[in-house]
Amino acid sequence: MARSDFDPASVEPDGRSPALARLFDPGAEGPWRGSVDGLAVGGAVTVLTYGTDAPGAGPRLHVHPYDETFIVIQGRARFFVGATTIDAAAGDIVLGPAGVPHRFENLGPGRLQTIDIHHSPRWIQTDLD
């Protein structure tokens, strides 16, 4: 399906150059595989990647002053976002709204792999537990 959502002539390039940054080393150990601040590439979002093979494992409860979008790449996760619990599987996305405490855990069996998009040019977080 072809898309034509806007007139390309209506957007003026802002002069930024294309940029490359390495998000993670595929051979690295540990659940936090890497992060790239938007500032490093001149972008508006920060990208993190998380992966674990251990059921029940996941990041601690935390909060951000901006939205966070989680993309489940592999496996199944249970997200706790404020008072809401959301089960998600590979191919799903989950929104953690700004100011709402959240965490997630691997439901298993097998690996959980996520890409976490912080809607900020830098990673800002307060851990709550």
Question: Which domains occur in the chain, in start order?
Answer: 48-129 (2.60.120.10)
Q: What is the pTM of this model?
A: 0.87
State the pLDDT at residue 94.
96
Secondary structure of the chain in HEC code, one letter for each residue: CCCCCCCHHHCCCCCCCCCCCCCCCCCCCCCEEEEECHHHHCCCCEEEEEEECCCCCCCCCEECCCCEEEEEEECEEEEEECCEEEEEECCCEEEECCCCCEEEEECCCCCEEEEEEECCCCCCCEECC
So what's the pLDDT on residue 107? 98
pLDDT at 17 over 90: no
Report pLDDT digits (tens) over 29-83: 778 878 899 999 999 999 999 999 999 999 999 999 999 999 999 999 999 999 9
Determine the Cα–Cα distance for residues 51 and 1; give it in Å rounded to an integer: 33
Which stretch of 7-11, 17-21, 91-95 has the lowest confidence by average pLDDT?
17-21
**Using CA atoms, how far apart are residues 88 and 98, in angstroms rounded to an integer?**
20
